[in-house]
Structure 1
Amino acid sequence: MSSPSEAIQFQAADFVFLALMLGGSMVIGLYIAARRRQTQTREDYLLGGRHMSAIPVCLSLFATFQSAISLLGIPTEVYTHGTMILYSQLGLVLSYYLALLTVVPLMYPLRLTSVYEYLRLRYRSRLPQLVGSAMGMVTNLSYMTVALLSPALALETAVGIPLWMSIVLVGAIGTAYTSLGGMRSVIWTDVFQTAVIFAGIFTVLVKGTMDVGGPTKVWQIGLAGGRVRFDETSLDPRVRHTVWNQMVGSVFFWLAVHFNQSSVQRVMSTRAKREANRVYLLTIPIVTTYSIVMMATGLVILAYFFSLGCDPLAAGSIHNKNQLVPYFVLHALRFLPGLPGLYISTIFSGALSTLSSGINSLSANMVEDFLAGPLRHRSESAVTTITKLLVCCFGLLIIGLAYLAKEFQGPITQITYTFIGASSGPALGLFLLSGLFPQANSPGALAGLGAGFLYSVWQAVGASLFGQSNPGLPLGPTDRCVAANSTAYDLTTAGYGFTSKLPDLYTSPWSQSVTTAATTATGAGFQDRDFSLYDLSYTLNPVFGAVITVVVGLSLSLVLRPCLGEVQSPEAKLLFPFCRRFWYSDRDVLSTEMKPREKDIGRDLGEI
């Protein structure tokens, strides 16, 4: 445990671990690229030749979306607001089951490269494809910027790694191996990074729990601090986290992610439809384990600093909530040089996997959606080279955006849901409208998308400017902090470890203030405030965006239908399987499904 006057910084062994992770990712990516250098086609580059098996694709999907945002965000969310975020993770698991019913059976038989090619097939027009792709690319750019910037900001202050160095290192390495090796390099480096992530999070959880005195003590402190709570069932949509808005909001947010280019591109890279189904089924237990560990880590961090009697946020040792996790790691794992570097490597791994996957999908969108016409008569090798150059360009763009957005402040989980949900919610609505209702036409769908997007952006911006803030539950005690100067404090403790007797958890001023704050958080704070849409929980933004897109899109499609004359209905295969027989006769359904099914069977037999 560090003394009050000792600066907590990375040691040589920590940098060794970090170098091994970054170097390992680079070596794996370059090795895969070298193996495929002579035979690489556009399909091989963007989709791994459509011969990937379920397990590596599953691990890649996990590493891409359970990124540095969740590594930093989930423990911080539990530390400051409590465990109601559990229901968000349950909604995430449910979204994987829904993806099995929607994404795989709709997209896989079409053999697409870009998910937005579906919109062209569905509406017999390139305009929905271009608009949908543009919105999807904006969403991916925003997500990757946050995923690259948030750990860099946290590590700059808490660890001492310069902001520019974190951004450039991750950006350059991810861009290098992705541009050279394509999807195969991305997937296999993601497998390695997943191993690093789990090694780091389990190490921190076990060591932190041991320091505090065991799981029982962690649980007791969490209860006394008001963090352990699972029973908020208020129907007031302004309450930040309830069972209902967490579950519903998370399902919509993550189902939108499953219709994202990065997700669908991985599904399309598998060698058979049954492998695509296995990807989602295998990801569920991995995501569940990860979510439980990250929530438990938040409780451990709370117990750790409570036991020290010095909350770093309350004392001013750190000034940004996103710095909490790396700051804790440097204290909890300092007993063995190198272990802090292991955990910081997990944060870099999360950012690296998100970046590499994102720039690969952005290049696929650009080539397949926007440059399909100009590149139609180009050779396969020329198109592949152009795709690699686009990967480099997008990598440089994201590095620049991340640095320009360096004034970003958390909490990153809420920022991600609010602003990325502003575009992903309407995008999900467009796919739901297209897959559920054959009556939807291109003008109605585009108008619905525009309405959903305008509402979501208005809601997100208005909530950030005029909505009632929720500072969270009271921070821990600072009675055992020692002033280092007039504005900052550092941790101190009488010895190496903690005393066996903690302060009275339930009669302390801290616990009493927690009770008062918890009452306010459940809705009492809105009693003296007129109802405002800006006060709605941020979790509902993607829900309203999707619903408005579907309702407006379907309504206008029906109104405009007579004006458009006779419009041919889409083929049954372009609707979700569970609603095809509702809209079409059995004969129509069979005639559109037999050919793709026969192709799939023939391909599967050929692989066997």
Structure 2
Amino acid sequence: MTKQAHFEVLDYILLGTMLCGSMAIGLYFSLAGKRQRTKEEYLLGGRRMTAIPVCLSLFATFQSAISLLGTPNEVYTYGTMYIYDIISTTLSNLLAMVTVVPLIYPLKITSVNEYLGLRYDSAVVQVVGAVLGVLTSLSYMTIALLSPALALEPTVGIPLWLSIVIVGGVGTVYTTIGGIKSVIWADVFQTVFIFAGAFTVLAKGTMNVGGIEKVWDIGHATGRITLDEISFDPRVRHTVWGFTFGAMIYWYSSFYTQVSVQRILSTRCIEDVRKVYIISIVLTAVYSSILVLTGLVLTAYFHVTKCDPLAADFITNNNQLVPYFVLLTLRFIPGLSGLYIATIFSASLSTLSSGINALAANTVEDFISKILRNKSEAVMTTITKALVCFYGLTCIGLAYLAKELQGPVTQMTFMAVGAVAGPLLGMFILGASFPQANYIGALVGCAAGVSISFGLAIGAFRFGHPTEALPPGPTDNCSQENITSLLTNYSILLTTQSTQAMPTESFITTASTSAESDSKLQDRQLSIFDVSYIWHPVLGVITTIAVGLLTSVIVSRFMRQKHRPEAKFLFPICRKLWNSGSVLETSIEIDDMDGIE
């Protein structure tokens, strides 16, 4: 790096406001009204939360610093096909409305894995589901906590350990003392910073480049704007089908996590839960559009200024592109650096606080519920708070130990989380769709799914051919003397550039290079390890369901007493499909559950 951004007074004020505000919310719910005396109040807010705060909390949890840093990087590196993630999130929300909500909400459980235990009539299945859920949450939170620290250290000069400790420490404290209410309302507060920071960066960056038309033209010329990739080749990184089906399964699996289900169960009525999903679709679509456009702004800016920091070795990792852009090229705007750091910290805080609260709920309900059976509410609440603190410290340690991770954070998250989330989702779908499924089939199917998923992830890492990135921008003005002049007198440079013809020669070279990359892909033999990471969760789900159902049918022939699930443990459409006394325990249950819906 030639220079690092330095904080001014206003930057510290904005960052301090976000951190202190989050702590204040936790302190308020810890003290006001003395409402943290029961486990249900601490973990579920007494099941009295309304739709808007729950929706904003769910949004802030899943749209973490991973997306804030990773989505613009994806667009800059591979193009705009990532915009189709809006389709996958929309479809997953709609599917969750008609499956997860009527299945889970009426049960009034605390842990999502309690459903597995009830449906399969097996404590072992519940524990296996809990273990997979814990692994999923820890993987996601580790990357969410680490990714901003890795990006900020070289651009702002904040030591990696300090970023991790600040975010991890603040999140752990206010979650421990305030419970789920402090998590939800802190998420609402942090969502304001997330949108404010993301929109400010997009708006100012677009103005600096010369307007949205110029951003779009450069995006077309450099081959970044690609919206028509409909190849059926599973090796193609991003396609319409990949997002419509592959990424949709990944996002759908998130609705069976403890973080998501805990929000559903804390909501006061099922109508509010449906509102949560509808509003989430709109929020996610707007947010994803902002981040994709930000990726195009990065491309345009580096081409207009003729100084690509990655090609010039000013940065060492693609994930540092957005911080470099914001904190160096736009640092002359008072407070923007502080707002952006607050945005990144807010996104990490929301993910961490929600995750450790959910992990505590999993531990209390799935692992040590028998030990706590005869304990008082005060003792159970105290133990739950201690578990929140423990998991917070664990995430801080894991994030620091994983500091050597490299690669696009969105892909790392997809592969790490998807390797476990796919088989876990398979167990839920197997049990909620097929009354023939039993606990043996669920366990065997899950083992097969995990084996396939981890085999794909490890094989892709070691033997797969990574997708070739689009060529970076020019470095003509990246000398030590020019970069200083560039950052100081950018307005003059922009005026000069806008009166000249666009340097299309280098852009045409980029497009032809991309075409050559597609030709190389077609010439290469098909390998399972070259399959796009988008499809990994799908293969895990399919394997789990297929193996699980086949095993269940075979094993049931040798079982003296066959387990017939109650209708309330099936998806609504499956209750009607399997409405037979020989398959379900009772048809009356179906009518009762339809009334609840």
Per the TM superposition, whether the score is higher than 0.5 is yes
Which of 481, 486, 489 is matched with 1:492 structurally? 486
Residue in structure 2 matched with residue 134 of structure 1 by the alignment? 131
| Structure 1 unaligned spans of 5+ | 602-608
Report how far residue 9 of structure 1 moved: 2.8
Ranges in structure 2 where 5+ consecutive residues have no aligned partner: none
Residue by residue over 1:56-109, the C-alpha shift from the partner in whole angstroms, topping out at 9 and shown as x without a partner, is 000000000000000000011001111001112211111000000111000000
Q: Which amino acid aligns with 1:580?
A: R
Give the corresponding residue for 1:526: 521
| Alpha-carbon shift at residue 305 of structure 1 (Å) | 1.4
Partner residue in 2 for 1:550: 545
Q: Following the alignment from structure 2 to structure 1, what is the Cα–Cα distance between the partners of residues 2 and 522? A: 46
Aligned twin of 1:265:
262
1:312–1:491 contact (8 Å) kept in structure 2 = no
Distance 1:344 1:491, change over 3 A: farther
Whole-Å separation in 2 of the counterparts to 1:247 and 1:388: 40
The CA deviation string for residues 475-503 of structure 1, in whole angstroms up to 9 with x for no partner, is 01111111479xxx777268232135356
Task: Find the counterpart in structure 1 of residue 398 from structure 2.
Answer: 401
| CA–CA separation in structure 2 for the residues paired with 1:436 and 1:521 | 42
In 1, the alpha carbon distance for the partners of 2:303 and 2:216 equals 12
TM-score (norm 1): 0.94
1:99-498 alignment runs, 5 A limit: 99-483=96-480, 492=486, 495-497=489-491, 498=494
Cα distance in structure 2, aligned partners of 1:530 and 1:286? 41
The alpha-carbon deviation at position 291 of structure 1 amounts to 0.6
Tell me which moved more, 25-34 or 48-57: 25-34
User: Contact conserved, 2:119 with 2:565, CA < 8 A, in 1?
Assistant: yes
- Indicate how the Cα distance of structure 1 residues 529 and 47 shifts in structure 2: closer, same or farther if over 3 A, else same: same
3-state secondary structure, aligned to 2:316? coil
CA contact (8 A) 2:418 2:537 kept: yes
Residue in 2 that maps onto 1:579: 574
Tell whether 2:3 aligns with 1:20.
no
In the TM superposition, residue 336 of structure 1 has moved relative to its aligned partner by: 2.0
Taking the TM superposition and a 5 Å limit, the aligned residue runs for 1:26-105 are: 26-37=23-34, 40-105=37-102
Contact 2:564 2:585 in 1 (8 A): no
Change (3 A) 1:36 1:65: farther
Residue 511 of structure 2: aligned partner: 515
Q: 1: CA distance between counterparts of 2:507 and 2:337?
A: 31
- What amino acid sits opposite 1:536 in the alignment? V
Q: CA deviation at 1:338?
A: 1.1
* Mapped contact 1:581–1:589 kept (Cα < 8 A): no
Tell me the CA shift for residue 38 of structure 1: 5.2
Determine helix, strand or coil for the equivalent of 2:158: coil
The residue type equivalent to 2:426 in the other structure is G
Say if 1:89 and 1:250, in contact at 8 Å, map to a contact too.
Answer: no
Percent identical:
53
- Residue 593 of structure 1 and its aligned partner are, at CA, apart by 4.3
Residues 1:8 and 2:5 aligned together: yes
Task: Give the match's secondary structure for 2:265.
Answer: helix
C-alpha contact 1:308 1:491 (8 A) present in aligned 2: no
**What do residues 285-313 of structure 1 show as CA deviations (whole Å, max 9, x unaligned)?**
01110011110111111111111110010
The correspondence for 1:568, drawn from 563, 571, 574, is 563
Relative to the length of structure 2, the TM-score reads: 0.96
What count of residue pairs does the alignment treat as equivalent?
592
Cα shift readout 1:578-597 (whole Å, capped 9, x = no counterpart): 11111014997752145567
The 3-state SS of whatever aligns with 1:563 is coil
- After the TM superposition, which parts of structure 1 deviate over 2 Å for at least 4 consecutive aligned residues? 4-13, 36-40, 489-496, 499-507, 526-530, 585-590, 593-598
CA distance in 1, matches of 2:33, 2:161: 33
- Contact kept? 1:480, 1:493, Cα under 8 Å: no
Q: 1:5 to 1:369 in 2, by over 3 A?
A: closer
In structure 2, the residue matched to 1:605 is none
Deviations 1:444-478 (A, max 9, x none): 11100010001100100110111002231000111
**Paired residues of 2:193 and 2:343 also in contact (CA < 8 A):** yes
- Whole-angstrom CA distance in 1 between matches of 2:487 and 2:356: 46
Counterpart of 1:48 in structure 2: which amino acid?
G
Distance 1:566 1:465, change over 3 A: same
| Alignment CA distance shift 1:113-1:514 (3 Å) | same
Offset at residue 333 of structure 1 (A) = 3.0
Secondary structure, in 3 states, of the residue corresponding to 1:341? Answer: helix
Aligned counterparts of 2:289 and 2:242: Cα–Cα separation in 1: 20
Question: Secondary structure of 2:233's partner?
Answer: coil
8 Å Cα contact 2:2/2:314 also seen in 1: no
Task: For residue 391 of structure 1, report the CA deviation from its aligned partner.
Answer: 0.4
Q: Distance in 2 between matches of 1:307 and 1:436?
A: 54
Contact 2:468–2:517 (CA under 8 A) maintained in structure 1: no
* 1:538 counterpart residue number: 533
Contact 1:246 1:539 in 2 (8 A): yes
Q: In structure 2, what is the equivalent of residue 606 of structure 1? A: none
**3-state DSSP class of the match of 2:34?**
coil
The AA in structure 2 aligned to 1:170 is V
Contact 1:87 1:243 in 2 (8 A): yes
State the alpha-carbon separation in 1 of the partners of residues 59 and 46 from structure 2: 21
Contact between 1:46 and 1:183, CA under 8 Å: does it hold in 2?
yes
Pairwise CA distance, 1:565: 2.1
Letter aligned with residue 512 of structure 2: T
